[in-house]
Chain A
Amino acid sequence: MIEGPGTGWLTLLQKELLRFWKVSFQTIAAPVLTALLYLLIFSHVLESRVAVFDGRVAYTAFLVPGLVMMSVLQNAFANASSSLIQSKITGNLIFVLLPPLSPLDMYAAYVLGAMVRGLVVGAGVFIVTLLLVPGSLTIAHPLFALAFAVLGSAILGTLGVIAGISADKFDELAAFQNFLIMPLTFLSGVFYSIHSLPPFWQALSHFNPFFYMIDGFRYGFFGLSDVAPFYSLALVAAAAIILAATALLMLARGWKLRH
Chain B
Amino acid sequence: MSASAVEAIGVERRFGSVQALAGVTLEVAQGEFFGLLGPNGAGKTTLISILAGLVRADRGSVKVLGHDVATDYRAARRSLGVVPQELVFDPFFSVRETLRIQSGYFGLRHNDEWIDELLHHLDLTAKANANMRSLSGGMKRRVLVGQALVHKPPVIVLDEPTAGVDVELRQSLWSFIRKLNRDGHTIILTTHYLEEAEALCGRIAMMKAGRIVALDSTQNLLSRFAGVTVRVSAARIPVTWAAKLLRREGNVHYLGLDSYADLEQLLAAFRVEHIAIDELALAETDLEQVFLRIMSGTETTDDAPPLVTVPEAP
With A2-B108, A7-B108 as given contacts, are A92 and B77 in contact (CB-CB < 8 Å)? no
Closest to B75 in A: A100
**Residues of A contacting B88 in the complex (Cβ-Cβ under 8 angstroms):** 90-92, 94-95
Interface: A98 (CB within 8 A): yes
A94 to B52, CA, bound (A): 10
Q: How far is the CB of B207 from chain A (nearest CB, A)?
A: 19
Partner of A100, one of B73, B90, B93, B114: B73
Name the distance in Å between A86's Cβ and chain B's nearest Cβ: 9
Query: How many pairs of residues, A versus B, come closer than 8 Å at their CB atoms?
Result: 96
Task: Give chain A interface residues in 10-35, CB to chain B under 8 Å.
Answer: 10-12, 14-15, 18-19, 22-23
Q: Is the CB of B105 within 8 A of A11?
A: yes
Judge whether B108 and A98 touch: CB under 8 Å.
Answer: no
B192 surroundings in chain A (CB, below 8 A): none
Please tell me if the beta carbons of B92 and A98 are within 8 angstroms of each other in the complex. no
Q: Is A3 an interface residue (CB 8 A)?
A: yes
B73 in contact with A11 (CB, 8 Å): no
Q: A18 to B113, alpha carbons, bound, how many Å? A: 23
Within 8 Å CB of B111, what residues of A?
1
A8 touches B105 (CB 8 A): yes
User: B113-129: contact bitstring with A at CB < 8 Å (1 yes, 0 no)?
Assistant: 11000000000000000
**A100–B74 CB distance below 8 A:** yes
Which residue in chain B gives the minimum CB-CB distance to A13?
B104
Given contacts A15-B101, A91-B86, is CB(A100)–CB(B107) below 8 Å? yes
Q: Which residues of the partner chain B approach A98 to less than 8 Å between Cβ atoms?
A: 52-54, 77, 80, 82
| Interface presence of A146 (CB below 8 A) | no
Q: Does residue A142 face the partner (Cβ distance < 8 Å to B)?
A: no
CA distance A99 to B79 in the complex (A): 10
* Cβ contacts under 8 Å, A18 to chain B: 92-93, 97
Q: Considering the complex, which residues of chain B in the window 129-148 have a beta carbon less than 8 Å from any beta carbon of chain A? A: 147
When the two chains form their complex, are residues A14 and B104 in contact, meaning their CB atoms are under 8 A apart? yes
Assuming the contacts A1-B114, A90-B88, asked whether A259 and B56 have C-beta atoms less than 8 A apart, the reply is yes
Q: In the complex, A3 Cα to B152 Cα: how many Å?
A: 13
Query: Number of residues in B with C-beta < 8 Å to the partner?
Result: 39
A56 within 8 A of B: no
Is A96 an interface residue when CB atoms closer than 8 A count as contact?
yes
Contact of A102 with B54 at beta-carbon distance under 8 Å, contacts A8-B105, A8-B107, A95-B147 already known = no
Instruction: Take A97-B54, A100-B73, A259-B54 as given contacts and tell me if A12 and B90 are in contact as well, using a CB distance cutoff of 8 Å.
Output: no
Say whether B105 contacts A95, CB under 8 Å: yes
| CB closest residue in chain A, given B148 | A98
B288 vs chain A, min Cβ distance (A): 31
Q: List 9 A-B contacts (CB under 8 A).
A: A4-B109, A14-B101, A18-B93, A94-B88, A98-B77, A99-B151, A100-B74, A100-B106, A259-B49
Known A-B contacts: A87-B90, A101-B105. Give 18 more (CB < 8 A): A1-B109, A5-B107, A8-B104, A8-B106, A11-B103, A12-B104, A90-B89, A91-B84, A92-B88, A94-B54, A95-B90, A95-B147, A97-B52, A98-B80, A99-B102, A100-B73, A258-B53, A259-B56
Chain B residues within CB distance 8 Å of chain A: 15, 49, 52-56, 73-75, 77-78, 80, 82, 84, 86, 88-93, 97, 101-111, 113-114, 147, 151-152
Q: Which 4 A-B pairs have the closest CB atoms?
A: A11-B104, A99-B105, A91-B88, A100-B74
